[in-house]
C-alpha cells in the first residue's frame, strides 16, 4: 500500500516553513516570543530555526528592534519563479515561429546545477522528428542548450558543477573531460551559439543560443533539436539555421527586457 506523502514530512523542515509563512504584508517583522506563541514551539527551538534560516539568507534580523524579517534569499527565489514562468509564457510564440521557419522541433531550456531541463517545446509536423522530452533532466555538457547556458558561467562555477575532471559520456561523441568542455564553452561564448553533434543521443543534433533578461544575465537557452541527417553543415549554412536560432533567442531576450548595446551581444 502506498504511503501518504504526509508520512514523509520532516518536522523541523515543516517548522522552518511555518516561520517563513508567518510573515505577512501587515506583519513584516516578528520576534522570537511572538513566533514561539504562534507556532507552539519552545523559544530555543524557534531561535535555532531562525539562526539556520538567517545563515542561509532566508531570514534577517533588524539590529535596532532585534525582530526578524524575510531575507533577500526569499526575494531571489520569488524572482526566479516569476522570471521562469514569464520566460516560458513569452517563449511560446518565439518557439512556434522558430519551428515554422526551420521546420524542426524548437525548445526553451534552463539550467539546473549541471543538468538542463526543457521547459517547453514546439514539435515539427514532420514524420521523422526529434523528441524534446519536456521536463527531463539532461546532462548540460552534452546538449546545445546546456552548453549555451554553461558558457555564461565562470571557470570557478564550471569546476564546482563538474568537480571531476572526467565527464560521464552519453554517446561516443560526448566530450570526455572538463578541459575539453572548457574549450568548447569558450568557443560557444565567442560565437554566441552552441552546437551538439550526437553527443547526448545518437542520430540527434541540436543548436542553441543563450537568452538574457533585463539584467543581461543568461537565464535560458532557445534552440532546435533535429535528426542528425537533416542538420548537415550544408543545410545549416544554406537555410541560415544558426542565424534564425540566434534571432529567436534575441527576440525572447528583448521580450524579457534585455537591451542590446550596439557592438555587443
**3 Cβ contact partners less than 8 Å away, ≥ 6 residues apart:** none
pLDDT at 96: 96
Model confidence at 1, pLDDT cuts 50, 70, 90, reads very low
Residue 214 confidence class, pLDDT cut points 50, 70, 90: confident
DSSP helix/strand/coil, 192: coil
Mean pLDDT, rounded, for 237-251: 96
Average the pLDDT over 26-31 and give the result.
90
Contact criterion met (CB below 8 Å) for 116 and 140: yes
pLDDT at residue 22 tops 80 = yes
Please indicate, yes or no, whether residues 129 and 31 belong to a single structural domain of this protein.
Answer: no
Kindly state the average pLDDT of the residues 83-109. Answer: 90
Helix pair 32-39, 11-20: axis angle to 10 deg: 120
54-75 residues labelled b (16+ CB within 10 A) or e (exposed)? eeeebbbbeeeeebbebbeebe
Q: What span, in angstroms and rounded, lies between the C-alpha atoms of 262 and 265?
A: 8
Q: Which of 19, 40, 70 is the last residue of a domain?
A: 70
Give the mean model confidence (pLDDT) for residues 202-225. 94
Residues 99 and 187 in one domain: yes
The answer on 217 and 115 residing in a single domain is yes
Give the number of domains in the chain.
Answer: 2
- In sequence order, which residues have a C-beta less than 8 Å from that of residue 56 and are 6 or more positions away? 73
Judgement on whether residues 45 and 150 belong to the same structural domain of the protein: no
pLDDT greater than 70 at residue 150: yes
Cell 552534452 belongs to residue = 142
Give residue for cell 550526437. 198
Please check whether residues 188 and 208 belong to one and the same domain.
Answer: yes
**Position 263 in a domain:** no
- Tell me how far CA of residue 39 lies from CA of 18, 20, 92, 129, in angstroms: 7, 11, 43, 54
Q: What's the confidence (pLDDT) of residue 131?
A: 72
Q: 59 is written with which cell numbers?
A: 531570514
Task: Over range 205-215, report the average pLDDT.
Answer: 94
Burial annotation 122-155 (CB, 10 A radius, 16+ → b, else e): bbbeeeebbebeeeeebbbbbbbbbbbbbbbbee
Assess whether 154 and 247 both reside in one domain. Answer: yes
Co-location of 210 and 129 in the same domain: yes
Confirm whether 237 is domain-assigned.
Answer: yes
pLDDT at position 15 over 70? yes
- Residue-averaged pLDDT of the chain: 89
Q: What is the mean pLDDT of residues 41-67?
A: 93
Asked if residue 159 and residue 38 are part of one domain, the reply reads no
Indicate the residue among 47, 70, 93 that finishes a domain.
70
The yes-or-no verdict on residue 159 having pLDDT over 60 is yes
* 197 in any annotated domain: yes
**Tell me, what CATH number does 87's domain have?**
3.30.450.40
User: Is residue 121 situated within a structural domain?
Assistant: yes
DSSP 77-138: HHHHHHHHHHHHHHHHHHHHHHHHHH-SEEEEEEEETTEEEEEEEE---SSS-----TT-EE
Higher-scoring residue by pLDDT: 71, 75: 71
Range of the domain at 34: 5-70
Please check whether residues 59 and 106 belong to one and the same domain: no
Lowest mean pLDDT: which of 38-42, 75-79, 117-121?
A: 75-79
- pLDDT at 207 exceeding the cut of 60: yes
Q: Considering 27, 44, 70, which residue would you say is the last residue of a domain?
A: 70
Residue 110 in this model has a pLDDT that exceeds 70? yes
One domain, residues 36 and 88: no
Q: 265 in a domain, yes or no?
A: no
Q: Are residues 138 and 227 in the same domain?
A: yes
**CATH code, domain carrying 48:** 1.10.10.10
| Three-class DSSP category at 149 | helix
User: Is 91 domain-assigned?
Assistant: yes
The DSSP 8-state label assigned to residue 217 in this structure reads -
264 within domain boundaries: no
Specify whether 247 is located in the same domain as 122: yes
Q: Is the residue at 85 inside a domain?
A: yes
Least confident of 10-14, 43-47, 150-154, 161-165: 10-14
Amino acid at each position: 500500500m502506498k504511503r501518504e506523502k504526509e508520512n514523509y514530512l520532516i518536522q523541523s523542515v515543516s517548522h522552518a516553513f511555518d516561520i517563513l509563512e508567518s510573515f505577512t504584508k501587515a506583519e513584516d517583522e516578528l520576534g522570537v516570543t511572538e513566533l514561539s506563541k504562534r507556532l507552539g514551539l519552545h523559544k530555543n527551538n524557534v531561535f535555532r530555526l531562525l539562526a539556520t534560516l538567517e545563515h542561509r539568507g532566508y531570514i534577517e534580523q533588524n539590529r535596532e528592534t532585534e525582530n526578524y524579517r524575510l531575507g533577500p534569499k526569499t526575494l531571489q527565489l520569488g524572482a526566479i519563479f516569476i522570471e521562469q514562468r514569464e520566460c516560458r509564457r513569452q517563449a511560446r510564440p518565439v518557439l512556434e515561429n522558430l519551428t515554422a521557419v526551420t521546420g524542426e522541433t524548437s525548445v526553451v531550456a534552463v539550467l539546473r546545477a549541471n543538468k538542463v531541463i526543457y521547459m517547453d517545446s514546439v514539435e515539427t509536423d514532420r514524420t521523422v522528428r526529434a523528441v524534446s522530452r519536456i521536463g527531463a533532466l539532461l546532462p548540460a555538457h552534452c546538449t546545445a542548450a546546456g552548453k549555451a547556458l554553461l558558457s555564461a558561467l565562470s571557470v570557478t562555477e564550471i569546476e564546482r558543477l563538474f568537480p571531476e575532471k572526467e565527464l560521464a559520456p552519453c554517446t561516443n561523441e560526448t566530450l570526455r573531460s572538463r578541459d575539453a568542455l572548457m574549450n568548447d564553452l569558450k568557443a560557444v561564448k565567442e560565437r554566441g551559439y552552441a552546437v551538439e553533434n550526437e553527443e547526448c543521443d545518437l542520430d540527434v543534433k541540436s543548436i542553441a543560443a543563450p537568452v538574457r533578461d533585463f539584467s543581461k544575465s543568461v537565464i535560458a537557452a532557445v534552440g532546435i533539436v533535429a535528426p542528425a541527417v537533416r542538420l548537415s553543415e550544408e543545410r545549416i549554412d544554406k537555410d541560415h539555421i544558426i542565424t534564425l536560432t540566434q534571432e529567436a533567442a534575441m527576440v525572447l531576450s528583448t521580450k524579457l527586457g534585455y537591451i542590446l548595446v550596439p557592438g555587443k551581444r
